A and B are shown apart, each in its own frame.
Chain A
């Protein structure tokens, strides 16, 4: 069984894993990091989105062995300093979630979206989140939340640099 070394939310783990083990099952069943849910089995819904070395991936379509030597950030790795991440805060403020099942993936995908485009238009946000499905919100407040987070995060970046 291959041995992998992977950093997840700032903690380094070393484990023997079956080659076929999905990253999302490794996170959930082996590490107990159940903040990342599973919504489908065909990579369509995006509920399981995490960041791998800062880029969003759907953790149901990544094998645990592919994460060897990488750094994974899940929803549980945000706001660990006791303060909500601006993206989490924006989702709360704008009522961008109802049942919340898509939310971890939606937040992680939105972070990657803003990494690529710090000031997206509404259409760009909609296109950017095409791989993440939500059944509750009709996306309207998610779009607003990402817009709000973009403003907040750019504002914060300006404060740091000025």
Chain B
């Protein structure tokens, strides 16, 4: 029997059954006997010394079990980790879970109340007495680096945590007598990830063992780090990521709340729960982006790039988070994008400010790089009076040149930029829209048409452990999977990645179904619980399929290897003569011989008749550590109507042609692209985390921080080219971040293109009506 391959089919997701019926297990849904609720008291100051703190008045409140300040955990709370010391001399101040002497951003926790319900806990916070002596807040990166600036960490003597330099090629030669030099400054505004599920943590102590449920992307990393911080042995900590409602990077940290709940649960011997409110989350979930990019290119008159120079300031916020310092480095290798050039110079300084710490947010470093280079390619096209597609074409790596080692030192294994671009241009009707644009410009239409282009690539599948080591990252990049054949021939797979919306249950089962020749419905995928998934490095950096999926393939291969040996024995044939196809073993040349893998599994489980020395199990463990990153790419085209009278921008058409390699599930891939586009467009047009002059975040709610709703977004036209990755047996590349990385420059590029006749070459993100209108007004010399 030959069945249609699962890989490539649009399987409807098995996850949906519980999600569409309200049977989901979010962390906040967990109720345990005797469980108490925790509320955090947080700093109202951006920067202040704590001169006195007294939690005792809260303890007398009705329903209050306990209250603790930082001092109460001084000997055991340690410091929150940063796993990425990007330079040897990186300034790395302690980041206490509960502040003791000084607070450095609004929202930093200083005390907790434990009470019998969430209302009582919240009420009692007001009884805690804290005396603050305000200190001057540091809010501007450039000011922060000036001599004599106020300091976020007074004892460190500087607001700069590191400067990381990366020089490739002969920069001097590239810039000497360059006929064309273009320099720009772009601002990557601060973003708030805004996963729909707020963070939540439950800790249950039993004896000297602890189970933590957390809305996290990284249960394995969390378990290891909690053990290091609390000195509770790792085997006595079980971390469960139950259903997790989105992450986008915001749930990769090891957070103050997780550590404090662990310590309080240990102290009290009771199960505890904390669930953040949205406004609490906006203050304390790490933020993303927030960079100042000074970027310059040197080129010849024919448009050929010679060199690229990038100087970044990256706002770390008040403390270094888990991978925060490394985020700009992930971009460092991407500024050259799909283009050939002779030299690259990249310098990044990480800066402390009295703001919420920053860390990875969907794309992490790569959206910033892609934005800057794509915007600059548009500027080059204008300078040379070339079509922006043409200037890209003159510089990109041609499909016959792969594998290609870029100026940044990465080897792109495969790609076809010509094909993706051609497909996108046709779907977009590029020439027709350009003609309409010319006509509307000619007519002086108050609503101008703009066309934006992004021919992006990115590096994902984080990451080869060896490369992470070279970059001084404190962890590996491999992934793990186990595949078990049950007695009845059904399959259980355990994966090390931990999904929060990506559909791993469905996708991984598709891979296994094809590899083992079993029905998709017969495969159950387990994850997110360190008691069942004992090994793994979790989910971020579009790694789950490109690395975790390959670990699954490797585990299946091991199962088949064992099953083949057992099958040969059962069929009384030599192992060399055994073939496997469509889920059954057969003896080569013997037409009627067929032994389904399920029968082999049953026989191995019985163990009555096994080859000598064979253990009664087909189960396997496997890992995969990639040799290289994977490099999705594509061409995105965006058309916007810009009302020059109101500044209002409306996306009229958006075409995304992505090449994510081999596609396992087209339905899920399209969904990932849609969501990625929405977040990239949100950066371009809607979202910004804003602080006032005193360091208060003014965008603490979804009324102020404008996550787009359905009418704010267009219907996307998505399509694909499929150039398989050559660096893994599935040929897959990863799709989680591509849409976000590609879309922001396409949208802003379109806005700027619409306004180009007015002499406008930049509008700062997000391109709100007010900002667009102001840019037009300024360009017209103040006459609105």
Contacts and interface: CB of A to CB of B under 8 A. Distances in A.
A67 interface: no
Interface in A117-162: 122-123, 125-127, 129-143
A42 B24 contact: no
Given A36-B22, A39-B197, A122-B715, A136 B675 contact: yes
Given A100-B15, A104-B22, A138 B246 contact: no
Contacts, number: 180
A88 B23 CA distance: 13
Which residue of A20, A78, A101 has the most chain B CB atoms within 10 A of its CB atom?
A101
- Size bin of chain A's contact surface: 35 or more
A116 interface: no
Interface string B1-40: 0000000000011011111111110101101000000000
B276 to A, nearest CB: 10
A93 interface: yes
A44 interface: yes
B715 A140 contact: yes
A76 interface: yes
Contacts of A38: 28, 198, 275
Contact of B246 (A34, A101, A130): A101
A32 interface: yes
B710 A129 contact: yes
A99 interface: yes
Interface string B271-304: 0000101110000000000000000000000000
A98 B502 CA distance: 6
Interface in B250-279: 275, 277-279
Interface in B452-504: 500-503
A76 B248 CA distance: 28
A40 B15 CA distance: 24
B16 A92 contact: yes
A138 B675 contact: yes
A137 B674 contact: yes
Interface string A1-35: 00000000000000000101100010011001111
Closest 7 A/B residue pairs (Cβ): A35-B22, A100-B19, A101-B245, A99-B501, A138-B678, A138-B674, A44-B702
Interface of B: 12-13, 15-24, 26, 28-29, 31, 117-119, 194-198, 243-246, 248, 275, 277-279, 500-503, 667-668, 670-672, 674-679, 701-703, 707, 709-711, 713, 715-716
11 contacts: A29-B118, A39-B197, A76-B22, A92-B16, A98-B246, A101-B26, A107-B20, A137-B674, A139-B674, A140-B713, A143-B710
Given A34-B28, A35-B21, A92-B17, 20 more contacts: A29-B117, A33-B22, A37-B26, A38-B198, A40-B198, A40-B701, A42-B701, A45-B196, A95-B671, A99-B500, A100-B243, A103-B19, A122-B715, A130-B709, A131-B709, A133-B707, A133-B709, A135-B195, A136-B501, A139-B709
